[in-house]
Each structure stands twice: as structure tokens, then as C-alpha cells.
Structure 1
Amino acid sequence: MRIAQVAPLYEAIPPHAYGATERVIHYLTEQLVRLGHHVTLFATADSSTSAELVPLCPRGLWRDANVWDTLTHHVRELEAVAQRAARFDVIHFHGDPLHFPLARRLNCAHVTTMHGQLLPVDHGPLFREFSEAPLISISDDQRRPVPEANWQATIHHGLRPDALALNESPDDYLLFLGRLMPQKRPDLAIEIARRARLPLKMATKVHPGETGYFREQILPLLEASEHFVDYLGEVGGTQRIELLANARALLFPVQWPEPFGMVIIEAMASGTPTIAFRCGAIPEIVEDGVTGFIVDDVDGAVRAIDRIDELSRVRCRERFESRFTSARMAADYLSVYERLLAPRAANDQIRELPRRRHR
């Protein structure tokens, strides 16, 4: 199958540090290539891939100090896709739905994975206008605000089993890892660690629009908690892997409809359980009492930390291998691709039938 993967240009594929969507695209692309498909990846020039790369900009837009208007680069990307569309059986878009008008006019199958939060006021009118656009959700909960959209499947994220290794002997610290934003409640992670009397390592990405929140709300907490909070900033590579593997537990005290939570399955692959608030897709991803604990507040999180040794890190790894591998994810996407291609193949066969001669 000839497959195009169209990535957002904010980060490289795979990302050098933070970037859940980009990490998912990387694992999917590499698995499809491994299965023998011809894959073309539209991404940044500093991406690393086994697929054919169509580079659109020198580096991730969020890491280029000269870039101000990221929209212009994504418009150029869509033109690059349009020019090459005839080469593909299916085009798989990821991220913002800027491509919907183009996709409506493509003469090939296409599908879009929605990676972010969906809002009825914003996405409802859009999905009604483009009601034919095939969509993939990354959790069932993500669909809830706009259930009427043309959903093809829910496909949970996956990653390669060898990307992270099981560690049965972790250190005695808690971990908060991800984007530092109000909805993910890093302040509550600090409060939970303080009340549990355990050290906390915080590895976070601060986006430009959230620097005020960090400076005004979080930095004072860090300064007041320096005796038990180790703030590391943004991390990637080996350091990120080791942080996940050596943590006693991952803290995920989100208070918003989290669409998935990629870091949870990365922790799971390391054998590290997650203590997460009951929001969004969390009950789909975390198996309460198996791969972590689902709680409703800070008190519940502190009590869960006292029970963390009841959970088997080996069992966490086993549940990752049965539910969240890139092989499973790629198989699910291939099923959608094939279903979308089936009507086109049938139409092609009809057109190729020999015409009967009339006597």
C-alpha cells in the first residue's frame, strides 16, 4: 500500500524531547515501513525516518526562533501533499483540520486522526460542514463532545516494545512529565508529593503562551519546595527514558478531558504505574488497581501512593504489551485504510468490466 503520513510541523519526527503526537506518528510510520508498505512522511527536515521524507522546513517550528507564523508553513505543506496526491492510495493527516477543504477534493482515500481536545462550539460546525471527512479518535471519550462526526474507529496510541524496558527496581521518587499547562495541574503534583513526603522530579515543556503561568503560579511553588522538588525542565532521549523507568509512580493529576495521555503508556512500558485523576480518557487507559490508581482528588492520590507497592511492575509491562504496542496500533490503522479503499477498488473493477456488444 502507498501511504502518506502528514505530520504537524511543530516538532521533528520523532521529537527531540516533548511531542506526544509526533512520537505516535513516528511509531506508526516505522511500523508500516517494517510491514512492507511504501510510506511517505511529510515533516520537518530534521526528522529521522525509514520512510521517504518530504521535508517542509529546516526544523520544528517551535524550535526555530525565526518563525512567528506557523500557519504559513502548514499551508505550504498542504500544497506539497496536493502536488503528490496521485502517488498515494491513502493519505493520513494528523492534527489540526486545516486540510479539510483540500481533502474533499483529493482523488484518493484519506483519513484524519484528531489528536487534541474537541469542542462542540468549534468542531461541531466544522464536522457538520465536512460530514464526509473520515475521522479517527484516540479515545472514546474524545468523541463525546461531537458524537455525530464521521468516526471510523477509536485507535489507542502504541509504541515499540523495545522503546522502553521494564525496571523492577525503581528509585523512591515520583515523576511529573509532560507539558506544563494549567489543565495538567503541576501544582497539584507538587502538593501530592509534599503530603506523601516523597521527592518529586518534574520534567516539563513550557510553551511560549504558558510562560506567564509558569512564572506566576509554578515558579513560586518550586522555590518554596526546592528541598523535595527537582525541576529538570524539558528532557528527551536517554534521560527521559531513565526518568520513566526509575520512578516509583507517575503523577497525572489532570483536570481537563485528556484525550489520551501518551506518557501513561510510556510509564506502563517501563513497569511504572500511574496515579491519575478521573478525567477524560484516563479510565480507558489506566486499569485501576492493575496499571495504576484512578483517584478523584489530592487526598485520594496520597492514599494511592501508600498502596503503590500493591501493584506489580511486571503486570504493568504485560498490560502494555497486550494493549499499547505500535504493531497493534498499525494493524488497527491498516484496517481503516483497507475499509476506506474498498469502495474505490470496487468502482475500479466495475469500470474495467468489458462492455457487452449489442446485437
Structure 2
Amino acid sequence: MKIVFEHKGVLPVKKYGGIERILFWHMKELAKRGHEVILFGHPDSDVEKYGIKLLPGVKNAEDLDSLIPNDADIVHLTYNYIPNSKVPTIVNMQCNGQIGEKFPKNTVFVSKKHAENHGANTYIHNALDFSEYPYNSKKKTPLNSFLFLAKGSWSVKNLKHCISVCKKAKKTLHIAGGRSFLPSRYIHSHGMVGGEEKLDVMKKCDAFLFPVRWHEPFGIAIIEAMAMGMPVFGSPYGSLPEIIQPVSGKICHNYKELLTEVSNKEHSYDPDAIRNYVETNFNIEKLTDEYINLYKKVIAGEYLHDQEPTWQLKYGPEDLLEY
């Protein structure tokens, strides 16, 4: 197949970036399988050595319309737009839609709950290229050092409760993606980190806290933490119950339950089993297999949804949920 992508940032990303990494890994996997992959992208992108053809990027989505090769089989975008072209387009949405926003019928969401919240049913879980997450076998140990990996200033990510439970339990919290401005010997702020710096922070931690207060579409940081053998303690919202299974962590329904898990000295999570779980279920090869199947459907003229997906809930996607 001849598959066209568009992305304005530099690929592969050098530091912070989740969605961008998955996009690049997927393109790289497609090229490795012999597909012709074209990226309209940033001139500093270093993708051609992976078999990806780099063409000059566009300023606006509409500028792509006239540039799509007529012999392309499909266009794969990561934003809400359908080019004015005879070539069919598939749209992967990583975010929640706003109230009243409509998405194309060929939209792919990133979790079952994410799709359901938009009145849809087609989704593909995000995935990792595990070569970028080196792992050495670990023994079961008490959970004394916890990780927060998200944009800390975004209230739906709930850094506030992560700091609170760690202080009360007298456990260490490493914050990657934000800062705590109140001094505490238990809290260590690293700011926005990526690449090797992020991995170094993750290696210091025994478990990951993700008590989000919104319907998280997927939560790439969850599988990143699992890739390092960490169990995940998260809230019951969005995709989390799909991703967090008994082998890999626990759903905590409120602050009290989260505090109980952080304070618990009897945890027996097996880091090797967690790594095996995430490698089996969230690998980039599996993601690419699933996308190829959807490409074939769309190329054959099928729609992935009967109607245009749109946000189904009465409240806004970023309204704080109870915790």
C-alpha cells in the first residue's frame, strides 16, 4: 500500500512526546513491512533512513488537498480533517471531542470507552516500540517510590492527590511533567522530561500513580510505566479499567482507596509479569496489524461508523469528575 501521513513536528521526537512517538513507530513498522510510506513533515525530520519518504510539510490542513498523490491508497491523519481528495482518509483521534464537535465516519479512537463516549465502536489501543524501553528483570519489592508522569498543571491529571497521598504515607513521589512548589522531603520535581532523562526518572520508581479526574482517552504513560515493570494505581475513568488489569495494578475508586494502596506494605506485584503483560497486549506490531485491517476496509469503500461520531455525555470532556 501507498500510505500518506502529515505531521508538523520533528520526527522522531527528541524529548517529550507520546502521540508523536506512536505515529513515528507505526510509520516505521509499515515501511519495514514493505509499504510505501510518505510523510509531509518538518524538514528536520530524520525519517528517510527508516524507509519513510519525507516531503515538504504544509502550514494548513487544506494545503494538503492538492499534494496527495493520486496513486496513494490511503491518507492517515491524527486530527479532525478530511482532505478534498479522491484518496480515502482514516483519522486517528487521541483526544476527547468538544460538545457538538463531529468527527469523520472513518475515525479510529484509542480505547473502547473513548469510542463509546463518542457514540462509536472502532478503536485501536495505543502501543509502544519496546526497543526504546530497555528492561532488566526485577524482583518483587516493596513499593516505596512512586511516579507521576503527565502535565502537572492540567487539573484533570490530578497531581494534587498524588502529592497528598505520598506525603501522608511518607512515600517518595517523582513528578515528571510538572512541579510541586511546596517543599517536602518526599516530593521530587523534575519538570518536563523526555528521552533518556525520562527513562532515568522512571527507573527510580516502583509504581505509577494515575488517578485522573476525566475520561482519559488512553493514557500512554500507563503503558510506559508498565514497560518498566511498574504497577499502576489509577481511577475508574475512561480507558483505565481496560488497560489496568490485576496483574498490572489496581483501580482505586476514590482518594481513600488510593491512599490505602500507596500506604500498603504488602504489595506483591511481579515486575517481570507486568512487562510481559504490556509487551503482549500493547506492542507496535499489533497496532500496525490492526490499522492495516482498517485500511483495507476503508479502501474497499466501507465506513467504520454509520454516523459521524460526536461527544455523547452531557458534561464537558474536561469537567472534573469526583475522586
Matches of 1:40 and 1:141 in 2, distance apart?
A: 31
- Do the aligned partners of 2:6 and 2:57 also contact (CA within 8 Å) in 1? no
Q: What residue in structure 2 maps to residue 114 of structure 1?
A: 93
- Offset of 1:81 from its aligned partner? 5.0
Q: What residue in structure 2 maps to residue 146 of structure 1?
A: 118
Does 2:134 match 1:165?
yes
Aligned alpha-carbon RMSD (Å) = 2.2
| One-letter identity of the residue aligned with 2:232 | T
Matches of 2:266 and 2:135 in 1, distance apart?
A: 17
| One-letter identity of the residue aligned with 1:336 | L
| One-letter identity of the residue aligned with 2:286 | R
Residues 318 and 43 of structure 1: is their aligned pair in 2 closer, same or farther, counting only changes over 3 Å?
same
Q: What residue in structure 2 maps to residue 238 of structure 1?
A: 196
SS at match of 1:165: coil
Matches of 1:42 and 1:243 in 2, distance apart?
A: 34
Residues 175 and 55 of structure 1: is their aligned pair in 2 closer, same or farther, counting only changes over 3 Å?
farther
- Do the aligned partners of 1:245 and 1:267 also contact (CA within 8 Å) in 2? no
Q: What residue in structure 1 maps to residue 165 of structure 2?
A: 192
Which moved further from structure 2: 255-264 or 26-35? 26-35
Higher-Rg structure is: 1
Matches of 2:230 and 2:62 in 1, distance apart?
A: 40
SS at match of 1:225: coil
| One-letter identity of the residue aligned with 1:232 | H
Does 2:70 match 1:134?
no
- Offset of 1:79 from its aligned partner? 1.3
- Offset of 1:268 from its aligned partner? 1.1
Deviations 1:214-265 (A, max 9, x none): xxxxx6xx33333221111111111112222331111111000100000111
**Identity percentage over the alignment?**
24
| One-letter identity of the residue aligned with 1:88 | A
Q: What residue in structure 1 maps to residue 249 of structure 2?
A: 292
- Do the aligned partners of 2:145 and 2:173 also contact (CA within 8 Å) in 1? yes
Alignment of 1:1-359 (within 5 A): 1-7=1-7, 9=8, 11-49=9-47, 50=50, 51-56=52-57, 73=59, 75=60, 77-80=61-64, 82-95=66-79, 97=80, 99-100=81-82, 102=83, 105-119=84-98, 121-123=99-101, 126-127=102-103, 133-147=105-119, 153-167=122-136, 168=138, 172-180=144-152, 181-204=154-177, 222-287=180-245, 289-305=246-262, 306=264, 309-343=267-301
| One-letter identity of the residue aligned with 1:144 | E
SS at match of 1:264: helix
Instruction: State the TM-score, normalizing by the size of structure 1.
Output: 0.76
- Offset of 1:43 from its aligned partner? 2.6
- Offset of 1:172 from its aligned partner? 4.0
Size of the aligned set, in residue pairs, is: 294
- Offset of 1:308 from its aligned partner? 6.9
Instruction: State the TM-score, normalizing by the size of structure 2.
Output: 0.84
Q: Which runs of 5+ in 2 are unaligned?
A: 303-323
Q: What residue in structure 2 maps to residue 208 of structure 1?
A: none
SS at match of 2:208: strand
